[in-house]
Amino acid sequence: MSTPLKVAVLGFWHVHAGDYARQAQAHPGTELVAVWDEDVELGQAGADRFGVPFSTDLDAVLADVDAVVITTATNEHRDIMVKAANAGKHIFAEKLLAPTVAEAEEILAAADANGVKVVVSLPRLAHGYTQAISEVLASGELGELTYARVRLSHDGAVPSEGSDGWLPQRFFDQKAAIGGALTDLGCHPVYLVQLFLGTDPDSVDATYRSVNGRGLEDNAVVTVGYRDQKIGVIEAGFTSRNPFTIEIFGTASSLTYTDAGNELRVGDRQVPVPEHNPDPFAQWVDHITNGTRADENLHRAVELTRLVVAANEAAEQGRTISYGG
């Protein structure tokens, strides 16, 4: 690519906005040129941090860029992404892609109609342990799979130094965030369980709790059941910092992974963990450059949305939700 893509960050609502802005500055194929936000305080601070102009005029920003990073509140994703797609701007999106499957599909339809390349940030699909686990599962060494559990947590809602925790209160706003720990951090265990066990469970149960009472759940467990009797357990929390863990059991053996030491074990042997594949931002740039569609990423982004919506419904109604056809 002879000329870097001109990229704007749209919204500094999400805590990862700065990470993606940094990637846009570091990647040789992109140049960060602007920040837009309806929230002047958040947007101006983000623009100042990265030394680029700030604007509250979305049309003006879209007219002057090739691509956008969407890190607004989740409830704004549909409107802003469709607008960007209709303006012909490539889209890199923070998860969730949208609050509903219908909105996610509308976004992708607009992107496809305008030749826009979309990638959703599902980074753990590119991590080395995911590659290694997928190879073990494909080998059949575990036998028939019966159970998988993935847990991810951080201490963002644990009070400290006179604050309610380092995670901003806007992450507990039902309208903006759509959901709490499961809808945000829990996305990673969701798409990993879907990768390992499949995207076609027939039931979803969810238990949400608010340890620190900030408005939405900060501790969540979701259980998915499959017609062939597999069980998947998805755990996410903002109230503790524990090692990221994966457990998968089959009729012939079992597998465990922990990021404490980056250790993957199958039965009684340790399995090497390779380096990560290119991250989603780099994949996005490659798709734009090569004119290809991120089919696998987008499929998983829609299925992630579908399961998160069902889990939130199960938690709200306090009952098992039937899932799938």
The answer on 38 and 152 residing in a single domain is no
Question: How high is the pLDDT of residue 325?
Answer: 58
Give whole-number Cα distances, 58 to 7, 11, 243, in Å: 13, 10, 40
The answer on 167 and 220 residing in a single domain is yes
* Last-in-domain residue among 68, 90, 116: 116
The answer on 155 and 47 residing in a single domain is no
Does the residue 290 lie in any domain? no
The answer on 268 and 148 residing in a single domain is yes
Average pLDDT, integer, range 16-24? 98
d(CA 104, CA 306): 10
CATH number assigned to the domain comprising residue 87: 3.40.50.720
The answer on 240 and 173 residing in a single domain is yes
Residue 87 DSSP SS3: coil
Residue 261 DSSP SS3: coil
The answer on 142 and 105 residing in a single domain is no
The count of other CB atoms within 10 Å of the CB of residue 175 is 9
The answer on 234 and 87 residing in a single domain is no
The answer on 128 and 111 residing in a single domain is no
* Last-in-domain residue among 75, 95, 116: 116
Does the residue 69 lie in any domain? yes
The fraction of the chain above a pLDDT of 70, given in percent, is 99
The answer on 128 and 258 residing in a single domain is yes
Cβ neighbours for 280, distance < 8 A, ≥ 6 positions apart: 92, 119, 120, 121, 122, 123, 126, 297
The answer on 256 and 164 residing in a single domain is yes
Q: Which domain holds residue 64?
A: 5-116
The answer on 227 and 209 residing in a single domain is yes
The answer on 219 and 146 residing in a single domain is yes
**Which pLDDT tens digit goes with each residue over 21-39?**
999 999 999 999 999 999 9
**Which pLDDT tens digit goes with each residue over 230-284?**
999 999 999 998 899 999 999 999 999 999 999 999 999 999 999 999 999 999 9
Does the residue 288 lie in any domain? no
Q: Is the pLDDT of residue 1 over 70?
A: no
Does the residue 134 lie in any domain? yes
**Which pLDDT tens digit goes with each residue over 113-136?**
999 999 999 999 999 999 999 999
DSSP secondary structure letter of residue 123: G
Does the residue 300 lie in any domain? no
* Last-in-domain residue among 52, 87, 116: 116
Q: Of 306, 319, 82, nearest to 190 (Cα)?
A: 306
CA torsion sign for 82, 84, 89, 95 is: negative
d(CA 93, CA 118): 8
Helix-strand-coil split of the chain, %, nearest 5: 35, 25, 40
Domain count of the chain?
A: 2
Q: Classify burial at 279, counting beta carbons within 10 Å of its beta carbon; exposed 0-12, middle 13-18, buried 19 or more.
A: middle
**Average pLDDT over all residues of the chain:** 97
Does the residue 166 lie in any domain? yes
CATH number assigned to the domain comprising residue 237: 3.30.360.10
d(CA 306, CA 187): 11
Does the residue 296 lie in any domain? no
Q: Of 76, 11, 73, 95, nearest to 302 (Cα)?
A: 95
Q: Is 291 left (phi over 0), alpha (psi -120 to 50) or beta?
A: left
Confidence of residue 2 (pLDDT cuts 50, 70, 90): low
Average pLDDT, integer, range 36-50? 97
Return the structure tokens found at 26.
């570091």
Does the residue 287 lie in any domain? no
Pairing, β 118-120 against β 231-237? unpaired
